[in-house]
Structures are given as C-alpha cells and as structure tokens.
Structure 1
Amino acid sequence: MLRATLRSLGYLSSSLLAGPVAFLWSLVSTIVVGLLSLTQLGGPVFLGAIWVTRHLAAFERNRAALVLDSPIGSPYVPVKADGIGRRVVGVAAQPATWRDLVWLSVLFPLGLLFGVPAVVCTVVSAAAVSAPLWAWAVPNPNAPFPMNVLMLTLSGRFALAGAGLLLLVVTIRLIRVLARAQARTASALLAPGRHQHLVDEAARLSESRRRVVDAQAAELRRIERDLHDGAQARIVAAGMTLALAARKLGNEHAAVADVDMARRQLDDALGELRRLVRGIHPPILTDRGLHAAVSALAGDSPLPVEVDADPAVRFPAAVESAAYFVIAEGLVNASKHADAGQCVVSITKAEDRMTVTVADDGHGGADPHGSGLEGLRRRIEALDGELTVTSPAGGPTALHAEIPL
C-alpha cells in the first residue's frame, strides 16, 4: 500500500510539471503547423511535430502505468507509404494522433484539478503528524483558539499529531482515488482504440489464414508420402509375390505358400489404407460424432483412457475434426513419450465454446513447440481457438483446447 500510495503521489505531483509543458507544446505545435500548412514545409513540420507528440504521449503512458494495474499499449499503426504527402495522410488518418493532442491539451487543467488537492492534503497531514517536532519553534501567543492550545502546549501538539494521523489515512485514500481517476482518463485517450483493434484483428486473421494454407500444404505432402512409402510399397510387394507364385505353379505347395503371403501383405496394405483414411478424417467421426470417435481412440489406446463427455451433444464438423486430432495426438504422446499409466479426456460445452482437455500422469517435459503440437496449434488457431500445453518436468501433462462454436 505504501508503494502504491507513493507512486500515486508521484504521478499526481509530476502532473503539475508535465501539464504546463504538454499544454505549451500542444499550443505551439498547433499554431506552427497551422501557419506552415500552406507551404512546402507543412508536411515535414507536421511529421516532426507528431514525432515529438507521440514521444510525449508515450511518456504519459509510462507515467499512468505507475498507477494502473497494466501498462497502456501503443495505439499507432505503422505507415509504410512512400513520400511525405502520403505519410502525412496516413498519420493524420489515425485517431490516435488526435487523441494524443487532446490529452496533452487537457493534462494541464486535470493536473491542477487532481494534483493540487493531493499535494496540499499531503503537506497538511505531514505537518500535523510532525507537529511535536517543529511547533515549539514558531510560538505565537496571539494565535486564536484552538490553535493557541494545539501549538503552544505539549499535549496540544500530540493531539494535533493524532488528528494528523487520522487525516493521513483519509489523504492516502484520496491520493489513490485521484491518481486512478486521472490515469484512467489517460488510458481512455492514449490506449489503443477501435481502429487499432481492427487493424490487429485483421493482421491476426491474415496470419491465421496463412498458417491454414501452410498446414493444408503440409497435410497433402504427408498424405503423398504415406501413400508412397506405406500402402503403395506394400501393394507392389504383394504384386511381386503373386508374380513369383505364378511361376511356381508347377510346385503346388510352394505356390500356395506364396499366395498366402501375398494375401497377408494385401491385408496389411488394406489396414494401412484404412489408417491413412482415419488420419485424414475418420468415418466414425462423421457418422456417429465426436464421443463415439474418441471412444474408439480410447479402445485402441494401450493406456486406460477415461472419456468424460456427453454422447448426445454434437458440434460443427470442423470443430469436431480439430478436437479429434487434439485428442488423438494427446493419447499418442501419452503412450509413446510420456510413459503414462492412465489418461483422462474431457469434452465440455460452455455457452459458445467447446473445451477439450487431455491429461495424463506421465513424466511430462513435452515440447510445446514440437512439430505435432505446432500442427495442432495451427489447426486450432484456424478456427479462432487456442491450444495450451502444460507439461512441467516430472508431469503431469495436459493439452487444453478452447474452440469457438
């Protein structure tokens, strides 16, 4: 509380100095830019004035952060236009440019409104509390009642100190309330506005779209590689074995053995193709929903898996697909890498979001940026969701995904 009070008092008292400087700069810069706007110097002077204004506004954000619980972010959008004219237009089109100027203009009256009461109350409270130390040095026999009693007698000085302590408690509360009011006003003007939020959202969506395209390309490459190295190789081997069997038809027993081997190889190839299809999109997920698909995964897992979900609830196809692969990856990691003894899968629906959690009791230490988890994160982010991985050394490990519906 002491540190917060000192920061609040420093913020308010420094506003008494920063306010006149900010007001003077906003007045002078506005007049100079206005007078030179009709000349060739208008553009460069405007950009230079905005550069100084933004640095002053950044200083104000740092001062307000002394009082607020979180720092104030930068609201500016980078201007990549070539030429002074286009840069002037790009900078002038940003609302943050003018909100900075408004704050620098109103800081002076706000500083007086909030700073003067805080400083005066602080001085009066400190003087009253320390009255026994200094009041004896300023005797005034003509002082009116009750000041003559409080200042000229020892008991009165200690009574004044007690009253100062009570006033100090009120002053501390007043300082923090005034400082937070001024800091919130600064945040309302200097924090990123709707324009900045829209720009950031567009950039985030653009990045998510790029990741989706990359993920799709990587998925196609994986399918091609699996087909080439897995099922195709097995089918080729089966064909060669059948060819050898055809040459050995003279020896009936040898031909039967080769044909049997070929059948086993074809069965393996068929199983490989089925696994490949499930890796792309399992048919059970489409036919019976996420609960049935996860139950099938749990049945095939070498670990005991507990599934906590409502079988009657269905989700959008894209959401179910993303959740399925999160659960599949979590179960594979738990069985192959985490040395886990059991795993719990939880699927819940809260309002307009689905939450998926895969937790195991393994030794932990999973890499959140590994290729498998990074692919899952891109898949979830493409749906405007979020995937978090908690895996401290020693365990346990938990994959937590939240996907909007």
Structure 2
Amino acid sequence: MSSSPAGSARAAAAIGGYLLGVLTVPLDLLGVLVAPVATPATDRVAAIERWRVTRLLGVPATVAPRGARAAGYLTVRAVLGLVGAVVLGLCGAGVVAAAALVYGASTGAAVPIVDATEPGQITWTTVAVVVLPGAVLCFLGVQGLVGVVRAEAWALRRSVRPGSGELAQRVAQLTTTRADVVDVIDDERRRIERDLHDGVQQRVVALSILLGRVQREADEDRRGELQRRAITETGHILDELREVSWRIYPAMLARDGLHAALEALADRTPLPTRLDYALTERAPRPVESACYFTASEAITNAIKHSGAETIAVGVERDGPLVRLRVRDDGNGGADPGGHGLAGIATRVTALDGTMRVDSPPGGPTIVTVEVPCG
C-alpha cells in the first residue's frame, strides 16, 4: 500500500512531463533557429529540456548537451514532440469515440460525432463489436506514448555521450590526474612523517627525559615540579597527535559528516569564520572529503599568507553539483599552482570536479570548488 502513492506520483509526473514536452516544441524550434547567433540561448533551452526529462520522466542525466550538440538534440526533441502530439491526439480521439459510443448505447440518442445521426443507431451490440479493436488501438496508443518517452531518453543520452575525441582527451586527463594523485599522496606521506618526526617524536623524547629525571630526583619538591611538567608535556603530545590526525582524515568527517567537520574547523580557526551550510542531506564520502580538505587548505593559506581578518565558508547544492566557496578578505595574490592548492585541485579533478581561485592583488581571495554529486 505504501508504494501506491509513490507510483501514482511518478505516473502523474510522467504524464505532466509528456504534456510539457508537447508544449515546448515551439521553444525547441526557437532554440534551433537562434543556435548560429545565440549559442547560450540554445544551451539554456537544452538545459530546460534536460530538467524536464530528468525530473518528470525519470531519465538520469547529470549534464545537458551544449553547443552544436544542443542544437542537434533540440531538433530531434522537436520532432519527438510533434510525434508525441499526434499520438496524444489519436489517444484523445479514441477516448472521445469510446465515450460517445457508450453514451449512445445507454441513452439511445443520436451521436453525430461517430456518424450516428439517427436515434437508436448505436446499441450495446455495436459497442460489443468495437470493444476488441478498440482495446487493440488503446494498447497501441499507450505503447506509442511509452515509445515517445523512451525516444526522449535515448535522444538525451545520445546527445551527452562523449565522442571518440572527447574520450581520448578524457583518458589523457585521467592518466595525468592519476600521476598527480600519486604525487600528492607521496607528498602527504612525507608531510605526515615530518609532522610526526619534528613534532610528536621530539615531544615524546622530551617526555622520556623528564620521566627519567623524575626517577632520579631525590628532592620531593623538585620531583613534583618535574611530574607537573611531564603531565603538561603529555597534553602537548595529545594535541599534536590530534592535529596530525585531523590533517590526515578527521574522524568527525566520517562519523558526523561534512557539516559537523566544517563547524569544528571553523571553531579551531583563530580568525572569525562564518559557515553557511545549505545541504539538506549528506553527500557521498569522497565529495565530503574533497570539500573539507579544500576548506582546510584555503583557511590555512588565508591564515599564513593573506593577512585576512575574516573568513566565510559556504556550501550549497546546484543541481547535480556540490559547490564549496571559501572567501577571505586578505591581500589576495594567491597562487593556484602553489603546492597546497594544486594538491586540492588534483583531488577535485579526480572526482570530475573543478576548482577556481579568484585572488586579485588587494583581495579578496575566493576559492570555489564544484564536485558532481550524482
């Protein structure tokens, strides 16, 4: 029983999408006509059609065709819309004829719409004779409607499918990205090793020396002071380990999600940091990881190099994309090719995402990441 309302909603959405497809034929033709002089307008019409097909007809497609492909898609779409209008018209005519026959048989009245101009011409026998061919025609009409929907899905998928040149470019990009990811991973391992060696290890050595002095010290007051210093040093070690673990992969990100991890990051940032989080559900873990480390790296750069006084972090959903934007009011001049940002760009590119750094001299610096979320 619980699936019935959902099925009815899907059917209603599909019918609405079909009818809307018939009505948008003039818009599709207009998009084709303006393609040579107004490509963005054509792309916009194609995006509207993608929304209709994905949201109402339930066809998965994360992107809309663009450029020449958008014009070709709209041409096919217009033809399918016209075919759909014809099929819909025939189905409507069949429904009207069936209703007229039943009305004439039940009342004995004349039904001119089916060429029965005299009363009593339509009887139940007449209805019984046309039931079988009517049922066959109804079945064919429904199949025509389904066929148009399937053709719509095929046209959209075909128009966004990459060509051989694009596939070759994609393979080259993935090969480069894979090499970059390996380099980034090696750099991260070396950084973690330095953090452990220069930070945690040195403090552990200092703690062991303090504990040795505690064992050798005979003066109770002096021993108590050394013990307090050892306890303080233990706290520093725990802080260092916690800091290293957050840089590797914060447990809060895996456990509680991106929102909680960014809130904790904002709380740990020494500069005033505002967080605007607009996602209503959790994104896939790789997307959350890419967004978190982008924010962490951008905030670290702002603290170390920009002279910023405030930082703003925003996360929102834009269709199939999750967009993260980090803005600081510092001096600007950030280098997108720098080690930290380049590593983040590689991580994002591996997920088919994009990263932009807008940092004019004098600021502000805005780092924007967009990652597909399915």
Q: TM-score normalized by structure 2?
A: 0.55
Out of 206, 210, 221, the position equivalent to 1:241 is 210
Gap runs ≥5 in structure 1: 1-66, 71-192
Measured against aligned partners, the alpha-carbon deviations of 1:9-60 in whole angstroms (never above 9, x if no partner) come to xxxxxxxxxxxxxxxxxxxxxxxxxxxxxxxxxxxxxxxxxxxxxxxxxxxx
1:197 counterpart (166, 190, 196): 166
**2:298 alignment counterpart:** 330
Q: 3-state DSSP class of the match of 2:204?
A: helix
- Residue 341 of structure 1: how far off its partner (Å): 2.2
- Classify the secondary structure of the residue corresponding to 1:401: strand
Which residue type is aligned with residue 398 of structure 1?
A: I
Distance apart, 1:335 and its partner CA:
2.4
Q: Which amino acid aligns with 2:203?
A: R
In structure 2, distance between residues paired with 1:272 and 1:303: 20
C-alpha distance in structure 1 between counterparts of 2:345 and 2:364, whole Å? 20
In the alignment, what sits opposite 2:224? 256
- Structure 1 or 2, whichever has the larger Rg, is 1
Q: C-alpha distance in 2, partners of 1:398/1:257?
A: 49
Secondary structure at the counterpart of residue 239 of structure 1:
helix
Gaps of 5+ in 2: 1-35, 40-161
Over the matched positions of the two proteins, sequence identity in percent amounts to 40
Give me the whole-angstrom Cα distance separating, in 1, the residues matched to 2:269 and 2:319. Answer: 31
Distance 1:365 1:212 in 2: 25
Which letter maps to 2:262? Answer: V
CA distance in 2, matches of 1:379, 1:315: 16
Distance, in Å, in 1 between the alignment partners of 2:183 and 2:272 is 35
Please give the secondary structure, in 1, of the residue aligned with 2:326: strand
Inter-partner Cα distance in structure 2 for 1:228 and 1:336: 22
Task: Say if 1:290 and 1:320, in contact at 8 Å, map to a contact too.
Answer: yes
Which structure 2 residues correspond to residues 318-397 of structure 1 after superposition, within 5 A? 318-397=286-365
How many matched pairs? Answer: 216
Tell me, in whole angstroms, the C-alpha distance in 2 between the residues paired with 1:337 and 1:322: 22
Q: Contact conserved, 1:347 with 1:356, CA < 8 A, in 2?
A: yes
The TM-score with structure 1 as length reference comes to 0.51
Q: Distance in 2 between matches of 1:262 and 1:398?
A: 44
Distance 1:223 1:333 in 2: 18
Q: Which residue of 2 aligns with 1:224?
A: 193
User: Which residue pairs with 2:240 in the alignment?
Assistant: 272
CA contact (8 A) 1:391 1:397 kept: yes
State the distance in 2 between where 1:234 and 1:394 align: 40
Q: Secondary structure at the match of 1:383?
A: coil
Deviations 1:162-184 (A, max 9, x none): xxxxxxxxxxxxxxxxxxxxxxx
Give 2:265's aligned residue. 297
Q: Residue 310 of structure 1: CA displacement?
A: 2.9
Highest relative contact order (Cα 8 Å, sep 6+), 1 or 2?
1
Contact 1:291 1:310 (C-alpha < 8 Å) held by counterparts: no
Deviation >4 Å, runs of 4+: 67-70
Q: Distance in 2 between matches of 1:357 and 1:281?
A: 20
